Structure formats: C-alpha cells, structure tokens
Amino acid sequence: MTDKEYEYFGFKPLIHGEVERDDNELWFLICNDKLLVKITEDKVSIPTYKDIKVLNISFQEAYCLGELKNKICFTVEIEENIEIKEEFKMITIYEAGILLEEEMFFVAGRGRQLLHWDKTHKFCGRCGNKTIKKEDEKAKICTECNLITYPTISPAIIVAITKGDEILLAHNKGFKDNKYGIIAGFVDAGEDLETCVKREVFEEVGIKIKNIKYYGSQIWPFPNSLMIGFFAEYQSGEIKVDGEEIVKADWFKKDNFPKIPDKISIARKMIDHFAEIS
C-alpha cells in the first residue's frame, strides 16, 4: 500500500497474505474475547511474526486480515491454556480498545469478528455438511450443496437525542457501575434505519423524536455488531423507561454529566460531540 493509499483508506483488506512469512507481520492472536499483546516499557503493542516464533505457538489455520502501515495483518484462534512469556499478556478486546491505538483496536475487532464467524459456521446452515474457506473471497462454501456464507454483521443503531442544551442519557441494566449512555438497539429484518431509531427510542424511553441525522459508524466486535450513529431532536412525550433494558434515563447538560462510556465507543464520541457544540 502506498502512503497516499494509507492516508485515504487507513487499512487495506486482503484475502491472502504472502506465502513467505515476514518477521514484521502483525499477528492478532485471539482466544474467545481476549487478545495477546506484547508489553515493553509500559507500551502495549501487537506481536509480530518474529515474536510468534519465539513464543512457539502452534495453530491450525490463520486468516489474512489486510495491510496496515505496510505490514500484513493475520489473525488466528489460540488455545486458552497456552504458556506465554513474561513480556506478553492476554487482555480483553475491550481493554485493547483502551490500551492500543484506535486503528489497532479496529483491526483486532476485525479479527475477533472473523474468528467468531469461522467458529460458528463450520457446517452448512442449509444441508448440515462441512464448510471450507473460499479461496477468492472472505467466505465459506459448503462442500456438498455449494451454499456460500459471508461473515456475520449485525447492524444496530445508536442515537443521541437532544433537547436544546440537554442530551438524553440512560442507564442500561447491563452497564457496569452507574454508567449512563445513549439509546441503542438492533435493526429488525426488513426495517430501515430511521424507523429503527424511532422504534428503539419509543420502546426504551417512551418519547417521540424528529430531525434524525446520520453521524457516523463504528464496528463493535462483541461479537459482530456494526453501530450506526444518529443525532435526533426531542419532539414530544415524557420519559418512561421500559424497565427491562433501560432502568434510568434523564436529560443532562454538559456540565452535569453522570459517568459516561469510555472513549473507544461511538457513544462517547457522540456525547463528546454534543458537549463541544452545545
């Protein structure tokens, strides 16, 4: 990848890496929701192929993810009880979002999503026979009926609702501590994004909204979500939480925010954006 291509794309997806191994390749070694990282002088980084050789980790199959900063990236599932050296550590993918550079977190997220899909699609959903990797694209094909399946992506909306100089923040019963975020939910089959935004807001906090505008998106590899962010304005109604997912919700000004999500999440980016413009 050229410098101009990197400046524009950031990361270049690839189907295959080089046949000959390169010591500078980045290897995203994942076990369930954990990632192996290297720690040197308080710096956290992704192991290279040279590191992998030192660790002497065996694995069956690796996926090429793509190219980042002229380095080919691979991902592989490793055993839970492997023995690792002192300068290496297993951390959660979520912790990786806090400790690594953002672009490294997103590549790790790609790896997590791909491996989860690979592990849950070893057999055909139509006839039940074994699937194998397709050579010309990131897909699996049934060895019997030739059904092709692609990595699973689950779209979900996330919306920041404003009312003048206030934003609606809500506490989901699944949140740790007393953290507040913004409204989110999965898109139903056959549902457009704007309708999903209205439905989720009404179901979870009982209010109506208007002027829905796209903000941005973010992968959320827990295990395969694509978060699609919107801003919307309050239209009418009183807050009435559903009591199932949302247990508390209220309007907040930027100078009295409760505890809010970590900086790796699109929710935090949207809340910070509101604080900047209000």
pLDDT at 58 over 80: no
What CA–CA distance (Å, rounded) separates 171 from 20?
A: 50
Q: What is the pLDDT at residue 115?
A: 96
Other residues' Cβ atoms within 10 Å of the Cβ of residue 119: 11
Average pLDDT over residues 195-209: 99
What CA–CA distance (Å, rounded) separates 117 from 121?
A: 6
| Ordered domains of the chain (ranges, CATH) | 3-119 (3.90.79.10), 121-151 (no CATH), 154-277 (3.90.79.10)
* DSSP state string for 53-88: HHHT---S--EEEEEETTEEEEEEE--TT----TTE
Pairing of strands 63-68, 43-45: unpaired
Quick one: CA dihedral 43, 47, 50, 55, positive or negative? positive
Chain-centre distance of CA 178, in angstroms? 23
* CB-CB contact of 80 with 90 (8 Å): no
* CB-CB contact of 226 with 217 (8 Å): yes
Q: Which residues contact 99 (CB under 8 A, 6 or more apart)?
A: 37, 44, 91
Q: What is the pLDDT at residue 53?
A: 86
* pTM higher than the cut 0.85: yes
Token pair belonging to 109: 């997220």
90 closest CA partner among 140, 43, 29: 29
- H helix or E strand, kind and range, residue 110: helix 102-120
Tell me if the bond preceding 13 is cis, omega within 30° of 0: no
pLDDT, tens digit, for every residue of 107-151?
Answer: 999 999 999 999 999 999 999 999 999 999 999 999 999 999 999
Mean pLDDT (the chain) is 94
pLDDT, tens digit, for every residue of 124-135?
Answer: 999 999 999 999
